[in-house]
Structure 1
Amino acid sequence: MQVSPRRRQEIVDSLRRGTVPQRGLDVMAVGLDRFAPTIKAELGVVANGGAQFKAVRGEYGSGKTFFARWMSETAKAADFATAEVQISETETPLHKLETVYRRIVESISTSSAQPSAFKEIVDSWFFNLEGDVVDGGVDPNDRQAIARATDELIEKRLANVSRTAPAFATALRGYRSAVERGDSAEADGLIAWLGGQPHVAASVRRYAGIKGELDHFGALGFLQGLLAVLKDAGYAGLIVILDEVETLQRVRSDVREKSLNSLRQLLDEVDAGRFPGLYLLITGTPAFFDGQQGVQRLAPLAQRLETRFETNPRFDNPRAPQLRLTGFTYESLHELGGRIRDIYADGADNGYRVASAVDDRFIDSYAAKIAGQLGGKVGIAPRVFLRQLIDVMDKVDLYVDYDPRREALGEAGPLTSLTEEEQAAIRRGEVRVPTPVGVDDIDLGI
């Protein structure tokens, strides 16, 4: 498995911290092969001017965040821009679309630019527009003629956006003018305003001839403008991931109703073709999609998301509005552990010793041990298992006399650093969390 030293280090460092890596997820995509052809086909539809929506459901530990990051990385390889937004009651309430838009701009990234790549995207757009007007016959040495022709082209390219959000095009022209004149403070202020940032100085807004701040009703128009800019800047489209939408179940009933209605509005707009080049992905738990405190509370939304799941997940339809993640099994946990071991060993100072000591039999035993300490909850195990597996391999790499079979598979204390969600998942299973005293004491449930 060929992985560059930089990607290898990013993967290992993230797993050491117990987090999902931002990049390099293709080498860790265990069990996602069945979704890949459909996702790639739908990305192709979006790249050709269509729009798509998908909901991903799964219990805690089933890999929803991993799936979202994997899809984001897959999309970037196909020249998409991506944005990941964590929905929360206080930081990013779903019913305030102006805040959601602002978070999209703050988190937007591309294969070559990290968040926020918004300014780079806008600058690339203007560069392409100027190239188009020069190709159309405008003298490349006549800056005034180029400026006039570019303004006219902006109006044409943003004609649909200007009908619903005229201030977007006005601010873009103001930004370009500020850049041309070297007014950096005004240029930075206008980029912030275009990104939905509140409290931009009144002097900056006067500079461009715009008024007020972005509100809930203008947010969708600005998103439409962002998509138009991305397309002309050479990108295939935009992936927007709304993660952890199940948090809506825990908010006040009036806020929940407004948030669910905002989600329905977004889906309707996608269906209506208002957002060409947009792929909207949301993630949530089964309780959110099926329970009365979630999607089922709003009948029109429930109808749009309705999906029939077979008893056997192997026959789930990946083209349906919802995808179901079933979580890890012992087999997939073993496969993932083997992949991470190979990645680690390829870049370790003592890679041969790591590969020899942390062999397939050890990974089998260690995966069973971690799952046993989690009450047999294999679906909760990946984060904890990988974090501790990295720790074991670090010690094998550092200490020549460290024996992982004796030290790591021997007597163990209770697991530490479990998140609240992991602890809650164990409690929901109403299981007693055992502390195995040896590998032979682990009940595999076979």
Structure 2
Amino acid sequence: MILDRWINQIQQQVVTETGLALTDGRLNTLVEQKIGQVIQALNEMVHGFDFARLLTLYYRSYRQGDEATKAKVIQWFRGEFHTKTEARQELGVNIIISDEDWYEYLKIFALFLKQAGYAGLLVCIDELVNIYKIPHAITRQYNYEKILTMYNDTLQGKAHYLGIIMGGTPQCMEDPRRGVYSYEALRSRLAEGHFAGEHKDLLAPVIRLQPLTSDEMLVLVEKLAEIHGVLYGYAPKVTQEDLVAFIRIEFQRIGADSHITPREVIRDFIEVLDILYQHPELKVEALLQSDSFQYAQNAVEGEETAPEFAEFTV
């Protein structure tokens, strides 16, 4: 637990600086003062004062062995309080993490983690296509506006020690009606420049990822076979020829040239390994050629997606 580890580090630091024993009654006061110094920077941020109060409350509960209050503070940090009245009754604070201000709390968490000895906070947001699928234009625009705020803050130095990675398909980015680029302020900031051309710019805000080739997929399943054998304690009997045959079958399916992803290949291959492990009398070649072998279904196959679209990461 990050908070418990942070408190232990501060206790050890105070013990080292003062030479007091862990049983000394003065230690608790000095530790709380040290915690106050660490979180003082949080008070200057939006909602930082209440955040700092809850950190102090967590320490006091930690010191007193009050697991119930500790659990409530963690519940608040997770955004699980639904009303301010509930938070006030349980913890004595008049604010909660809501849909309107969750991003402000991400910035607070990032600064706190830096104070706690970490490099910062890395936020990974996958499946941007879910915003693209929102039917209401106003709701989509609200989400795109939030992304714009996050992007501007990182460039303008308003989001310290915070890294943000977003992932989605090119269609959910480039669709002029519903995609990210339908929000002109984002399109003008994220669209490719005029000089990249064939050269990949890994410092650009948008990095396009190329689908894995068949050779790269082959290396992937080789590693999976080794891991599966280590996990279940057996020597894998799949040969290089079996792996090549498996990859060939996977890439021969309809639409594989544009829609196949590592997820489907991994699911299919793990299924093959599981069956072979439980039925050692089976031959790999016979299993792959049998009617019982079913491909993992790609959710993209059922949607109208332009064939030139590939996956990318913001």
TM-score class normalised by the smaller sequence: 0.7 to 0.9
- For 1:305, the equivalent position in structure 2 comes to 190
Could you tell me whether the CA contact under 8 Å between 2:107 and 2:162 is conserved in 1? no
Higher relative contact order, chain-length normalized (CA < 8 Å, sep 6+) = 1
Listed one character per residue, the Cα deviations across residues 5-54 of structure 1 (whole Å, up to 9, x for unaligned) are xxxxxxxxxxxxxxxxxxxxxxxxxxxxxxxxxxxxxxxxxxxxxxxxxx
Task: Give the alignment partner of residue 269 of structure 2, picking from 364, 389, 393.
Answer: 389
Could you tell me whether the CA contact under 8 Å between 2:144 and 2:183 is conserved in 1? yes
Counterpart residue type for residue 183 of structure 2: L
Unaligned runs of at least 5 residues, structure 2: 308-314
The answer to whether structure 1 residue 291 and structure 2 residue 175 are counterparts is yes
Normalised by the length of structure 1, the TM-score is 0.59
Q: Secondary structure at the match of 1:167?
A: helix
Give the stretch that moved more between structures: 371-380 or 234-243: 371-380
Unaligned runs of at least 5 residues, structure 1: 1-119, 430-446
- Cα offset for 1:341? 2.8
Counterpart residue type for residue 151 of structure 2: L
- Cα offset for 1:318? 1.7
When residues 154 and 200 of structure 1 are mapped into structure 2, their CA distance, relative to the original with a 3 A threshold, is farther
Counterpart residue type for residue 247 of structure 1: N
- For 1:205, the equivalent position in structure 2 comes to 88
Counterpart residue type for residue 265 of structure 1: T
For the aligned residues, what is the CA RMSD?
Answer: 3.3
State the alpha-carbon separation in 2 of the partners of residues 155 and 351 from structure 1.
56
Counterpart residue type for residue 227 of structure 2: I
Listed one character per residue, the Cα deviations across residues 256-309 of structure 1 (whole Å, up to 9, x for unaligned) are 111111111112222232333222100011122222222222233223323348
When residues 187 and 282 of structure 1 are mapped into structure 2, their CA distance, relative to the original with a 3 A threshold, is same
- Cα offset for 1:317? 1.9
Task: Give the alignment partner of residue 4 of structure 2, picking from 109, 115, 123.
Answer: 123
- For 2:141, the equivalent position in structure 1 comes to 257
When residues 207 and 137 of structure 1 are mapped into structure 2, their CA distance, relative to the original with a 3 A threshold, is farther
Q: Secondary structure at the match of 1:408?
A: helix
Q: Secondary structure at the match of 1:418?
A: coil
State the alpha-carbon separation in 2 of the partners of residues 142 and 348 from structure 1.
47
Could you tell me whether the CA contact under 8 Å between 1:242 and 1:281 is conserved in 2? yes
State the alpha-carbon separation in 1 of the partners of residues 28 and 156 from structure 2.
35
The answer to whether structure 1 residue 342 and structure 2 residue 226 are counterparts is yes
Matched-pair identity in %: 20
Could you tell me whether the CA contact under 8 Å between 1:158 and 1:225 is conserved in 2? no
Counterpart residue type for residue 233 of structure 1: A
- Cα offset for 1:345? 4.3
State the alpha-carbon separation in 2 of the partners of residues 389 and 209 from structure 1.
53
Task: Give the alignment partner of residue 420 of structure 1, picking from 285, 288, 299.
Answer: 299
Q: Secondary structure at the match of 1:351?
A: coil
Could you tell me whether the CA contact under 8 Å between 1:173 and 1:208 is conserved in 2? no
Normalised by the length of structure 2, the TM-score is 0.80
State the alpha-carbon separation in 1 of the partners of residues 137 and 78 from structure 2.
30
Task: Give the alignment partner of residue 327 of structure 1, picking from 203, 211, 214.
Answer: 211
Aligned residue pairs total 303
Could you tell me whether the CA contact under 8 Å between 1:248 and 1:256 is conserved in 2? yes
Counterpart residue type for residue 8 of structure 2: F
Could you tell me whether the CA contact under 8 Å between 2:287 and 2:293 is conserved in 1? no
